[in-house]
A and B are shown apart, each in its own frame.
Chain A
Amino acid sequence: MITGLGTIGPCGHGREALAAALAAGKPVASEVNRGAGLHLAHGARLAALVGERDVSRWVPAADARRMSFPSKLVVAAARMALAEAGIGLSDAGGPRTGVYLSTAFGSGLSTEKLLRQILLEGAEAAQPFYFSECVANAPAAQLAIAVGARGPNVTLTQRESGPLLAVARGAQAVREGRVDRALAGAFEELTPLLHALLDRFGALARAEGALAEMPRPFDRRRDGFLAGEGATLVVLEPEDMARARGARLLARVGWSGAAFDATASVSDWGDGRTPLAATLRAGLDEVPGGTAGVSAIVSGASGTRRGDRLEARVLRDAWGEVPLPPVLVPKAVVGEYGGGILAPGVLALEGATFGPTLGFEEPDPEVGVAPHGGGALETPSRVLLTGLASGGAAGWLVLERAS
């Protein structure tokens, strides 16, 4: 059971800021610093960056000075989630609290600074702080230290599917009684260098002629995603324990699944929808009501050519002749970062308003999925979150209204 949600991203701090941005349906994008000269001249310029970088409300300065930016984001989002769950800091940790996080790139700035020191200033210039913070599990470790979480401390690195796998993993640990509480979620840090490299790969949306630089999920003209950063964490507890302490129940974690498309290339999506659709179909059979029991899809589509096409084909295969429920595409707003769909998934169950999927104007016959147009939505009782990763991995997670 999810009893707390903490989120910090390009929209600001907390669920209210995110909900307002989702309702507006407008990408929260700003100019990336291209001053280092790493970018291509006509490359991408925008990213969904965290603007409000002061997290001192959640992370005391004395602790923050020993943390990288993503570590601070993670600790802040976790404390936000714990506060919402009504769990005091002194009660948050212990041997029965586990941490389950996901990231694609880890602490980018620490890695970059360390590499620059090694490559430009000489090997012995490397600073220990950047090394200890550049490992992918540094934010999870900082969180464990901050709250005293002595249970399993896991960081998954499975690109876009990782966040759903991490929450599923935390939920499994709670279900199996391995932990009484799991802090689960995702984080990402986007540096100018990472932005430039993603653009050099052709992964990012670009301005083209009269078309503005914008992610266009499921649109015929889509040409890449809007890179983003932030952190989203949830508190997971057994339902009976949460009810016993009178916690507010935000959502129940239902079915989760994962599969792999071996036709994918190292850095792109493939065409092998069969194993993905088979896994999703089998999973939906376990959901009460089957596909009819899923009242909305919170899609991980982000505007990539092959990724959105695969996402659409897998969904259509899984649903068969039955029309898809409303498809919400939050990454059009918050950008592509791991936690980008976790918080919107929870908010959807609470009746959050989702604006039109900006950028979607011309349906793609190859895709055949029309995302949510911005009209009124009946509050979903059950949502399917999807995360299809470049490279072949896929993850799904069902969240249900707690009541």
Chain B
Amino acid sequence: MPGADPGRRPCGPVVVTGLGAVSPLGWGVGSLWDGVRSGKTAIGPFDRFDHSGHRTHVAAQVDLAAEPGRRRGKSLRLSLADRFAVAAAREAVALAKIDMRSCGERAGVYFGTSTGGMLETEVYLESLLAAMAGRGHPPSTSLLASQQNNGPGDAVARDLGIGGPVQTVSAACASGAMAIGDAVRAIRRGEVDVAIAGGSDSLCRVTYAGFNALRSVDEQPCRPFRGDRAGLSLGEGAAVLLLEPLERAQARGAMPLALAAGEAATCDAHHMTAPHPEGTGAAEAIRGALADARLDPFDIDFVNAHGTGTPLNDAAECQALVAVFGDRAPDLPVTSTKSLVGHLLGSAGALEAAVTILCMIHGEVHPMPDVGPAHPGIRLRLVLGRPLPLARARHALSTSLAFGGANAALVFTRHGDQGPAH
């Protein structure tokens, strides 16, 4: 690899051998797949915090009562986002059948988050302000222990006894996808042999109020790419991919779930909260990921789009897909996982990557709810209402487009279909 650090050991293809997820559809990838396949949205009334003063009252929240093996005492200094992350990472490691502690400094964590422990920070500050006003006692600082954005990734690293690099990306809604891209590159460069890559975020008042202030939240569950779409719906959760070189996975008898074939990131450099209307930055990210995977647009079998449901995002993303896929765009199956679990912000890219892989494993593209009218300007083959059988899907694209114009694209390939280039 040109310019690679001396002494590093470049590797061949990078594969996914473990998946883990916590989502509004349940704890675990089984619940996630069953849920997305059903096409029934988890977006609805929620009670994570008081939202009575808001214009909107829907979100997709994780059922905390279903948290497996929760030990309350141990969770005190972990934020909710940390707990999601740890649960997802444990599941991915278990599926990959790998002893992380034996990997020492050769294992790394690459995580994305947008708000980390903001939910707990809000509780702390509310209590502190109340105490200053003579109502109650000052809160315990333990609420703030995991306030910062490095919280989820660090919590995973501590839980798994990681000795290698730990890095948190906070690039808003592209964080999770960028973290996976970073992990893929770190393995290719030979910096680590195993990477835990993903993202985690919890619902919090800052993002709920903030997106409401921007008038970007739909009063109804979001309807990506539909004619009456009126905004996004927020969600929460985590997803983790366990990545390693194909050669290493085969040597230890692990089953590759998919190849992490390509990644790329760009920036619109256009506006803080609106995408470039022509989707130029997003299109460049997609082209970059395809080039990284040594694929042509023709090779992609389906797209798990960023698809937030905001009028601006979906229009720009449609433009980007048309720019890259040209005449083929109207025939290319497109779905949006956000229609079912909401927008997981910093973990959206990770969760959607996991869902994309699940679609390839099961040979079906999950549907979006068949609600709302078509939009005449959105000429994409949306997967609506029922799963689309796609048993021969070889390559899939997942996109993430963020606040501040950050774009990331990931390409996954079904194991065994990587072709001679790999």
Contact = CB atoms under 8 A, between A and B. Distances in A.
A275 B171 contact: no
A341 to B, nearest CB: 18
B90 interface: no
Given A132-B403, A135-B403, A152-B267, A157 B170 contact: yes
A267 B170 CA distance: 19
Which one of A114, A266, A278 has the highest number of Cβ atoms from chain B below 10 Å of its Cβ?
A266
A127 B213 contact: yes
Contact of B402 (A131, A137, A158): A137
Interface stretch (B140-148, B251-259, B312-320, B326-334): B140-148
A154 B209 contact: no
A266 B298 CA distance: 47
Interface residues of A, number: 84
Contacts of A145: 269-272, 405
A95 B51 CA distance: 41
Nearest to B403: A135
A391 B150 contact: yes
Interface residues of B, number: 82
Chain B facing A: main interface SS = mixed
Given A104-B148, A131-B209, A132-B273, 10 more contacts: A115-B121, A120-B129, A134-B210, A142-B272, A145-B269, A148-B269, A259-B163, A259-B164, A266-B145, A286-B7
A288 to B, nearest CB: 10
B218 interface: no
9 contacts: A130-B210, A136-B114, A153-B267, A162-B150, A175-B2, A265-B77, A286-B7, A391-B151, A393-B150
Nearest to A260: B166
A325 interface: no
B137 to A, nearest CB: 13
Interface stretch (B154-162, B363-371, B380-388): B154-162
Given A38-B132, A158-B168, A131 B210 contact: yes
A126 B212 CA distance: 8
Contacts of A242: none
B129 A119 contact: yes
Given A114-B210, A127-B213, A138-B404, A153 B148 contact: no
A111 B167 CA distance: 23
Which one of B55, B154, B157, B161 has the highest number of Cβ atoms from chain A below 10 Å of its Cβ?
B154
Which one of A115, A136, A138 has the highest number of Cβ atoms from chain B below 10 Å of its Cβ?
A136
Contacts of B402: 137
Contact of B267 (A126, A144, A256): A144
Contacts of A220: none
Given A258-B167, A260-B164, A266-B154, A135 B269 contact: no
B114 A99 contact: no
Nearest to A274: B163
Contacts of A279: 105, 163-164
B2 A391 contact: no
A122 B267 contact: no
A266 B164 CA distance: 17
Interface string A241-255: 000000000000001
Contact of A111 (B109, B113, B206): B206
B344 to A, nearest CB: 15
Contacts of A200: 141
B165 interface: yes
Nearest to B402: A137
Interface in B168-201: 168-172, 178, 182, 185, 189
Interface in A3-48: 37-38
Interface in A83-114: 93, 95, 99, 103-106, 111, 114
B265 interface: yes
B55 A124 contact: yes
A154 B168 contact: no
B210 A266 contact: no
A157 B402 CA distance: 17
Given A128-B213, A258-B164, A278-B105, A159 B148 contact: yes
